Amino acid sequence: MYQTTIKKTVSLVGIGLHRGNPVNLTLEPLEANSGIVFVRKDVGVSIPLLPQNVVDTKMATVIGKDGYSISTIEHLLSAIYAYGIDNIRIIVDADEVPVMDGSSASFCMLLDEAGIVEQDVAKRIMLIKKDVEIRDGDKYVKLSPSKDLRYDFTIKFSHPVIENQTYVLEFTKENYKKEVARARTFGFLHEAQYLRSKGLALGGSLENAIVLDEKKVLNPEGLRFSDEFVRHKILDAIGDMSLIGMNFIGNYEALAGSHHLNHMLTVELLKDPANYEIVDIVGAKEKEYVKAYA
């Protein structure tokens, strides 16, 4: 297996979730060993996707540099990760990635339009070698060694539509597109009203999020999956874990995980080289991992 980038530059325009303004997004190919690099075109700042560049995780994963930031990056990163793309430049002209319909489906379509091309450098993958766990009371996120990649997520909400949900994704690109990519972000009406009073979530609507009142889903079309809520949490987790800097092989498990806990998990993982092994996927090893990252 070789590192990949996109075949051609592609663009789209969408609304930013928090500012409510149009955002132009462009994806460009990058040479091998470049990784994922964000660019704020409006201020001329490049921000490599690295754990140390994470500046906020309260409501979304936010990266920043030199006083400038880009928020709500996790849905786009989730799609990029699922497509196994190693090197790509992401250009926006605002401080957030457009929310689109609240899932990663639009970004998958954009990547399908761009196409994927192999580069002349072997692909690197991180193998999880030891259990790494972050806990916050009953909440936790965990990575453990495995020969494949699985996301196992449980959520608990005291809401009649959500309650307790668990979903396990046996990760492949096709499983991701079929089972997770269309799952939308969600929130509660009282939270949206509070955020708007603070000048946030100005672009949020029933077009780009599942909104719930105290008893029901307010979106007239209903849910895309009966357990869409936990599926979206997996979508988020995949995007957050891309901060590791490469695809990995191991099991991810979470109970009430969050952007913040996911960030702490990536930091804890990378803190000790004994937690992982980085391998070039060539020769015999290629057959072991091609299913997930073909």
Q: Which residues are catalytic?
A: 259
Asked if 233 and 155 count as a contact pair (C-beta separation under 8 A), the reply is yes
Strand bridging mode 36-40 / 45-48: antiparallel
Residue 283 DSSP one-character state = T
Q: What span, in angstroms and rounded, lies between the C-alpha atoms of 38 and 246? A: 16
Alpha helices per DSSP H over the chain: 74-82, 105-114, 173-179, 189-197, 228-241, 259-271, 284-293
Asked if 238 and 176 count as a contact pair (C-beta separation under 8 A), the reply is yes
Asked if 259 and 265 count as a contact pair (C-beta separation under 8 A), the reply is no
Total H helices, total E strands in the chain: 7, 19
Alpha helices per DSSP H over 73-215: 74-82, 105-114, 173-179, 189-197
C-alpha count within 13 angstroms, C-beta hemisphere, residue 259: 20
Q: What span, in angstroms and rounded, lies between the C-alpha atoms of 36 and 97? A: 14
